Structure 1
Amino acid sequence: MGPLPCDRRKDRSSANAPVPPFPAEVCERPDGMGPPLPRLFEPVKDVPVRTSFWQCGGVIDPIPDGEGNALRLVELRREIDERELEFSRLAAEFDKTDWWDAEGFNTAADWIRLNCHMNSHAVWNAFAVGAREHDMPATTAAMRAGEIGFAHVATMARTAVEVGGAFDEDKLLPLAIAYSPGKFFHKCIHYRHAVDAEGYSRDQEKLVEERGLRLNTAQDGCLLISGLLDPVGGAAVRTALEPLAQPSGAHDDRSREQRYADALVELSTAGRPAEIQVTATIETLKGMAGAAAAEMEFSLPISSATVRRLACDCSVTRVLLSEDSNVIDVGRSKRLVDGALRKALAVRDKHCQWPGCERPASWCDGHHIVHWVEGGETNLANCLLLCKRHHRMAHEGGWRLVRVNGRVVPVAPTITFGLPRVADDSARAPAGAV
């Protein structure tokens, strides 16, 4: 802490000159204006380098050595990353033994979680890195060189596990070096979609099957809400809640949790529709091989099949990009099943048009029989109502709907969607289908 302005006396002959006690001395004004001012307090001398506010009589700690701390932080992080890599090797080797079984644990992961005080995500990272390190020599070398961290290595290993033989370290490592761990994670999701779009879509469907919401009334009458939503459903809820959950002003002292609770009640009573924005390339929308996944706010990237389903829904704004990421289209209204067309569909169809389903029109989405990206028109003849489940089946599930003599006929996919695979040709499109 430097001397106060009133300490800079012109007649001071030495920095160690004795300082007369207050009030025997006055000091000059720093601006040279007006009469001298009495000294208000004595300068603090010989204060330890690290001492508390109270120990030094009211003087705040000196500023820490920022550069030294920064260098040490980087050094420590590299040491920790190296230890993480070593731990991963040992974890993979430990998994091959039966020692954890003899100790009464179901899996090696359970033993490590308990005895190493780790969460499941960290244990899974360790197993993935230990199992696939031999496939990532350049990645581990980049970590030792300080170009990436263990978080990048873990994401790389998880991707290698998920895509199997399609894993290409040469394509992913430059992305790991260029991006933060969080951004690199999203890049790996796009990579997985590019090499295995069907597998990615199936995994997303598993998340849909895991969805659930529990509503329980407590003894005091409060409603307890808990559950799990798939990425698309979760994004729809967050998109609807976020605008309503913002602070109402400078004097809004509600917690974030309270604002979300109020937003949910307001949404339920006011009926404010949510509009989700999906950003995708035209190649993704067409389901072309090697295309990246699509981006959606408040969600992880979604599959091309999910994009095609959402593109039928008037509550979704589509932003289409060219290969060089230039915007070429922003959800033209002529492609939306809304307004008068939506009302006409409700009057004509009355419920979901999947054979045997009678979910009411208010629960349904508008669906293009021939998707507009394939030249289908947005009109009454080419559209029908499908409930959420059957709309997913028509896109993510690979089913196709055709009209035969005015009747809607579902055509089974080449992959199963929770149903046994059809071995004969009975599920092929009937003759005369349009």
Structure 2
Amino acid sequence: MPASEGPPPGGGFTGPDIGDLSDHELIEAMIGARRRASQAQAAELAAVAELARRRFAEAAEADAVDAISPRDYVHDEVAEALTLTRWSAGDLIRFATELTERLPATFAALAAGDIDYAKARTLWHGTDQVGGGLIARIERAVLERASVQTTGQIRAKTRRLIRRWDSDAVARRRAEAERQRGVRLIETDAGTTYLSGVDLPAEEAAAAYGRINAIAAGLRRDGDARTIEQLRADVFLSLLRGTLTTTCPPAEFTDRPIGESSTVPDWTDADDRIADAVADLTRAELTALTGDLPERHHNVRMLIAQAGERITASLAGLKARWCVPGHDGSYRPSAAMRRLIEHRDRRCCFPGCRRPVRSCDADHSVPFHQGGPTCPCNVAMLCRRHHRLKQTRGWRIDHVWPGVVLWIGPTGHWRITAPADRE
């Protein structure tokens, strides 16, 4: 099966000799199995929804003397059949009925295996305050790329579209959620606990986390041997208990929420649209290339890499306006350039990674010591893990256009990310 970024194939390995498969075939087996699992889950949801509809119809005709109406006992029927708690059965019934009735395109995508169960639930949750006329419009826009996006990307895109098309729905949902705010203490199997603030106002919570993070970072720089995660947890508890010896963050700390970048007017919505268009054209060209390859082509990774290089080279002249004169000899981006790149990339440029740019490295796609320039067309934000992954044998990237990054894995499977994908 040629490697591509398109929807997963319908086939896949089902026999016992999985050890005989190549690495490429193992990836295809995973994709095929996920597709079949999605189809099976859609069949379950369809059955649950149909049973619920029948019981709801019976409830309208039920005799008043019945102790429990069919509308209520369908929860018990589903719970018993699937060995669920009654609460879980109720949630499943609501999801199944609303998905099949309110979000038919999403259900169809699940039934076809183009998206999985978690993605369907993400779109369902994300549209629960949206009016009927707008839901189909959001579905169409989100499902265009949902097969190759993570739940985090789908959630972010859904929120962005709702903000653009129905700002009142955003306000309604936020107000309702904040009315349900609280604090939860949940015991784990290890004998520890989760202590969490739930449905807190976003800005205040981000500022609180920023303060905890800054104090922990200051302690770390002062030589504290605990990991940064341990320090955050200990600072969090000490602040709440009033036992922290210092509550002063380092001098460079600001109350800017984590992940927020200063507005840089040099990268605009129009530039986002151009980057999206470049990404779409690159996907189309690579998909056409891999579609013509035989099932077990042994050089698919090399051919994808060569195609990526050709596309990148063909756009070199158009990218010239992003290059910074006189900065080629400098390894580190200037403060202004870094702000522009942070504003453009939003998050780590690895497919599906949600790490905010403030926690990322400004990485040269073509290494600086190999002649890679320090400019927005060659520098992208990568979290430390994916910065290291990019340098690992078998992985490579091409910075096709400012913010548009082609990732090629060891098996020849590839993905392209663009700025709008990372919102």
Whether the TM-score (by the shorter chain) exceeds 0.5 is: no
Whose radius of gyration is greater, 1 or 2?
Answer: 1
Structure ranking higher in helix proportion: 2
Which structure is higher in RCO with an 8 Å CA cutoff and minimum separation 6?
2
Q: When the two structures are superposed, what TM-score results if normalisation uses the length of structure 2?
A: 0.41
Q: When the two structures are superposed, what TM-score results if normalisation uses the length of structure 1?
A: 0.40
